[in-house]
């Protein structure tokens, strides 16, 4: 059965706050300073948590330390950095995050005075995870695993409660020189870059991302 294309909205060059993010946002080669600002704006609220799932050693620590003093222990405790080198490890980490959300919902039912919480999942190096998985499993299996992971993020985000926990995901994609056009409607066309052919980035943006954030167009 052919998969339906997911129609993304307007493209922009930077995300500044958690509130500006869609449920699933793809960000192409973000400037480390811009990514650090997005993370900082999220974790400065003591209720919020960022899960940074990384395969590329890309966490923007130095820019973040320029925005938040290193002695602000509460803010840095709100960042959980996890290494996932393939889709199996990514799946395991996502399951742990979902378990955290489920436990938090239970605690909220017991503690009615708790304020709303924003949870941001950042996935960096998903193309590396995908490539590493290809060498260890059949092609159909890792394609299915990736699809199920992205759908799982979508379902969990759809079940967010603004008065409780709001979940959003930010998927960092690589920059390439290729640009293509994506039709928004019969009178307006949006240039979407960086996408290359039928790549992993193209697949994620076309079928799962609500928005593509890109720069250097």
Q: Is there a contact between 192 and 114 (Cβ–Cβ < 8 Å)?
A: no
pLDDT digits (tens, 9 = 90+) for 98-121: 999 888 888 877 777 777 899 999
- pLDDT computed for residue 198 by the predictor: 56
- pLDDT computed for residue 163 by the predictor: 79
pLDDT digits (tens, 9 = 90+) for 171-209: 999 875 234 434 333 333 333 334 344 588 888 988 899
Q: Identify the CA nearest to 46 among candidates 15, 77, 81.
A: 77
H-only helix segments in the chain: 32-43, 61-67, 73-77, 87-110, 126-134, 139-158, 200-207
pTM of the full predicted structure? 0.84
Delimit the domains of the chain by residue range: 24-213
Q: Domain 24-213 falls in which CATH fold?
A: Rossmann fold (3.40.50)
């Amino acid at each position: 059965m052919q998969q339906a294309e997911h129609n993304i909205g307007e493209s922009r060059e930077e995300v500044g706050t958690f509130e500006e993010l869609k449920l699933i946002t793809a960000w192409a080669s973000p400037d480390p300073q811009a990514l650090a600002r997005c993370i900082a704006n999220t974790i400065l609220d003591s209720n919020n948590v960022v899960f940074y799932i990384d395969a590329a050693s890309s966490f923007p620590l130095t820019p973040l330390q320029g925005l938040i003093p290193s002695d602000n222990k509460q803010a840095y405790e709100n960042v959980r950095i996890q290494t996932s080198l393939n889709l199996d490890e990514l799946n395991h980490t996502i399951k742990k995050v979902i378990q955290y959300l489920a436990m938090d919902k239970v605690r909220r039912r017991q503690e009615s005075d708790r304020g709303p919480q924003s949870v941001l999942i950042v996935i960096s190096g998903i193309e590396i995870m995908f490539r590493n998985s290809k060498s260890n499993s059949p092609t159909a299996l890792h394609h299915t695993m990736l699809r199920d992971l992205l759908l799982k993020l979508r379902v969990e985000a759809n079940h967010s409660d603004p008065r409780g926990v709001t979940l959003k995901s930010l998927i960092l994609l690589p920059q390439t020189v290729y640009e293509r056009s994506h039709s928004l409607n019969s009178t307006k066309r949006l240039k979407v870059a960086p996408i290359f052919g039928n790549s992993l980035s193209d697949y994620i943006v076309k079928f799962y991302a609500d928005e593509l954030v890109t720069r250097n167009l």
